Amino acid sequence: MLDKETRQLINKARTLGSTGLSVFLEDAELIRLCAIAAIDLDRPQLVNHLLPIEEITNGYYGTALDWFQQPVLAAESFEEIFFNIQQNIEDFATYFKVLCELHKRRLKFQLILENQPIPEIEQIVPRCLLEYGLIPSESLASWLVWRKWLYDIDNRSAQETGYLFEPILTAAIGGVSFAASKSPIKRTNDPKKGRQVDCIDGRFAYEFKMRMTIAASGQGRFQEELDFAADCAGSGYTPILLVLDSNPSTKLADLIAEYSKYNGRAYIGESAWNHLETKAGNVMGYFIKKYIRVPLDAVKDTNTNLEPIYLGFQENSMAVKIADRSFSISHSIERNPRHNG
């Protein structure tokens, strides 16, 4: 029923990783994601026979992750369901694909939270010299361990978010990403080697950034970023820089100037969002707004002050309390209670 290209899209959409913290979406999960997508796109009649629509009146973000893993009692197979919806909704396959990417990364991050090792004090104890004597040693030990665990979690979060944004932005633009080994963009100083490219759309080669930091410069990689524009021009492509964060920096200014030097373009902040929505069209433009812009703005706009936070272990879970709101995270590693709180 489904052609080879669509089957490949589905197989890629259902899997994330092959080892370690990997994710595989079963047919029931894919059917529920199809239902979410169809309802998003104002076609609930295509899926109201599959599950109670009232279960997802709060939308994807308002639905618990374990809801997606419950069985679906449907007379049709997932392939039949997907084919029917695809025939009735323009660009449904692309919408479904990026919704799966979002869902997989959210599941992956839950696995990270559950499995991220709590640092051993021996690894970080030399750092106590900067604060030794300022607070009791037992409190200092817990402070070192907690902040290192949070730092590790935040690094993993940033990494997974980066992996999430690239396929979504590429799909919105309607382009294709390339690994270095298969890239049409060759390095000017070594034409035998290709360059990884976030997205190529016709003769436009995109570099995506959520924000511009000093990290690349500090680690000696900024020249590599500057070279991208020249490599694109030398390979017959126009370099496009797209940065979602509008905060200015000297490095960003340098990068924009380099792109301009090679007749490239830069879309920063609001102009980047506008460019994405223009390229995306109605369906993917709706996805960008609903699943990316609205959540980002909602969290950013509520950041008026820092609320107090409590962290602690309770049996095999992590207890978190922020102001007067509490939640817990399952955790597979038991720790010494001296690190609680």
What whole-number distance in Å separates Cα of residue 206 and Cα of residue 208? 6
Reported pTM? 0.90
The helix (run of H) or strand (run of E) holding residue 326 is strand 325-330
Q: Contact, 21 vs 115, CB < 8 A? A: yes
Q: Which two tokens stand for residue 120?
A: 């051993």
Has residue 218 got a pLDDT over 70? no
pLDDT at residue number 57 = 86
What whole-number distance in Å separates Cα of residue 92 and Cα of residue 38? 8
Has residue 334 got a pLDDT over 90? no
Burial of 127 (0-12, 13-18, 19+ CB in 10 A): middle
Order of strands, sheet of 238-243, starting from the edge strand that comes earlier in the sequence: 176-178, 197-201, 204-209, 238-243, 265-268
Percent of the chain scored above 90 by pLDDT? Answer: 80
The whole-number average pLDDT for the span 317-327 is 93
List the helix and strand counts (H, then E) for the chain: 11, 12
pLDDT at residue number 224 = 86
Q: How far is CA 221 from CA 61, 157, 192, 213, 228, in A?
A: 36, 22, 21, 12, 11
pLDDT at residue number 220 = 60
Per residue in 184-217, pLDDT (tens digit) is 999 998 888 999 999 999 999 999 998 866 554 4
Q: Closest Cα partner for 288 from 275, 301, 299?
A: 275
Per residue in 60-86, pLDDT (tens digit) is 999 999 999 999 988 899 999 999 999
pLDDT at residue number 62 = 95
Q: What is the band of 333 on the pLDDT scale with cuts at 50, 70, 90?
A: low
Has residue 336 got a pLDDT over 60? no
Beta bridge pairs of residue 201: 204
pLDDT at residue number 121 = 95
DSSP alpha helix (H) spans, 212-293? 215-218, 222-234, 250-261, 270-287
